[in-house]
Structure 1
């Protein structure tokens, strides 16, 4: 095993992968690229499944773990299991769980969801990096066009951003899956992409973010974890952790972040038009 100590967090692990990947042999580099693109799979996969996904032998994947400072795959997997966000149950299961817990009247349910929203907002205020927020706003305000993508649960946030930016006279394009049309070719250098996805992550959102980065656009990610597959795509990562009640998650904090982005970008654009530095 390499002498270096094992990473103590997923963030440190992903940073180490970026640090060493260029100097790795081909097979180990395949392992690095696969883990960086699919960190959510490490916690629930065997070493055989991970090596198959990376297109290498299990022995090569074990060697990759050791290069990072782990004794083997099991030690690396424990790091992910400690923080891995499990896929959420379907709505029927969530409703059954609420019934079993005796959630009570609609008024009681409302009170619980209000409390979950309050906790989410407090956590956002404490944890969001103001420097990352400032950098994201600068990138969005300087963009020729803002492209927005968010599927499934994130679609309400994406559609709100598109609506609000339009009201702020910010050139905006909402990317969705209607008609299965591929609109990623509309992204140009000098544009910006807002990609929104939460566990279990949308591969369509990640793919469009990757296409935007390849096109030379700045990518701003809104996601729920540093282990998000958007992390290898962009350093502009705005993480939002939503509290839940009965396995139902609100979007209170995420929508508040979206409102802040819209107002800040609109203000910056107006200041630029008026010649205010």
Structure 2
């Protein structure tokens, strides 16, 4: 039995987890040490990944990754994930760190980067096709198609997704409004009865987006959402919530799955409106 396995209590903070991993690394069997090394470098992934996804990324079986979690002192993956979700924004690598990791991994060549992002996008699309149900997507599309106006909100990374949706709706003649929150004007009053709000927020979540979604829901306006984490607070205001997971390259995430999903949704909404 390893020293980590003898520890009965789970780490109570991220710093305690890191100290435990660093102090006990050499006592772990080879496969568990492999899990520890990968986890140490990619703590931010745990908040938005399943145990199967973490195991695949670490190149071990899910059962091995579960044994690693227990060796650290957790009852299982869920307990470790809950700890990391609570502190997600504290340890997500900044852009300098992400670029440095590319240099360390020898992945700075343009061709290599392109191949890595293509592979990450491909995996994201495969995951999307296996996780998003047609029933849920159809309910959202029908709800949006019946709206007087569709309001779209998504800031930071999500803005590129809602901008594309707004462009598509404009070209297809669907009344839509993209919210910018320029000058700290969040336009809560523009969302009226009979409208629908489609909100997108990726971890770390946008407070402005969450406020607008909650304000609309509190006034009885239908809210639909899209996120990359099951812990997203949009679940408190959205009647239906879509979940997408994007592959990463050194901490950089594309938008392959999110753009594909929302493009399909926008076209479906337009087709339903033209049928009625």
Separation in structure 1 between the aligned mates of residue 160 and residue 122 of structure 2, nearest angstrom: 20
Separation in structure 2 between the aligned mates of residue 244 and residue 86 of structure 1, nearest angstrom: 16
SS of equivalent to 2:183: helix
Q: Tell whether 2:127 aligns with 1:123.
A: yes
Out of 71, 80, 90, the residue aligned to residue 82 of structure 2 is 80
Separation in structure 2 between the aligned mates of residue 116 and residue 79 of structure 1, nearest angstrom: 22
Compute the RMSD of aligned alpha carbons: 2.1
Match of residue 275 from structure 2: 271
Match of residue 222 from structure 1: 226
Match of residue 233 from structure 1: 237
Separation in structure 2 between the aligned mates of residue 184 and residue 78 of structure 1, nearest angstrom: 37
Runs of 4+ in 1 over 2 A off after TM superposition: 74-79, 81-88
Tell whether the 8 Å contact from 1:190 to 1:216 is kept in structure 2 after alignment: no
Out of 250, 254, 277, the residue aligned to residue 254 of structure 2 is 250
Return the offset for 1:190. 1.2
Tell whether the 8 Å contact from 1:187 to 1:215 is kept in structure 2 after alignment: no
Q: Tell whether 2:96 aligns with 1:92.
A: yes
Q: How does 1:25-40 map to 2 (within 5 A)?
A: none
Match of residue 147 from structure 1: 151
Tell whether the 8 Å contact from 2:222 to 2:239 is kept in structure 1 after alignment: no
Match of residue 156 from structure 1: 160
Separation in structure 1 between the aligned mates of residue 200 and residue 88 of structure 2, nearest angstrom: 18
Separation in structure 2 between the aligned mates of residue 84 and residue 123 of structure 1, nearest angstrom: 25
| CA distance 1:219–1:85, change in 2 (3 Å) | farther
Kindly provide the CA deviation profile for residues 152-175 of structure 1, in whole angstroms up to 9, marking residues without a partner as x.
011101111111111111111111
Return the offset for 1:129. 2.2
Match of residue 192 from structure 1: 196
Tell whether the 8 Å contact from 1:170 to 1:266 is kept in structure 2 after alignment: yes
| CA distance 1:133–1:208, change in 2 (3 Å) | same
| CA distance 1:101–1:147, change in 2 (3 Å) | same
| TM-score, scaled to structure 2 | 0.68
Number of residue-to-residue matches in the alignment: 201
Separation in structure 2 between the aligned mates of residue 150 and residue 79 of structure 1, nearest angstrom: 25
Tell whether the 8 Å contact from 2:247 to 2:253 is kept in structure 1 after alignment: yes
| TM-score, scaled to structure 1 | 0.68
Return the offset for 1:109. 0.6
Match of residue 109 from structure 2: 105
SS of equivalent to 2:229: coil
Return the offset for 1:131. 1.7
Separation in structure 1 between the aligned mates of residue 249 and residue 81 of structure 2, nearest angstrom: 26
Separation in structure 1 between the aligned mates of residue 108 and residue 81 of structure 2, nearest angstrom: 38
Tell whether the 8 Å contact from 2:144 to 2:269 is kept in structure 1 after alignment: yes
Separation in structure 1 between the aligned mates of residue 86 and residue 107 of structure 2, nearest angstrom: 27
Return the offset for 1:182. 2.9
Separation in structure 2 between the aligned mates of residue 189 and residue 216 of structure 1, nearest angstrom: 8
Higher mean C-alpha deviation, range 87-96 or range 205-214: 87-96
Return the offset for 1:83. 6.6
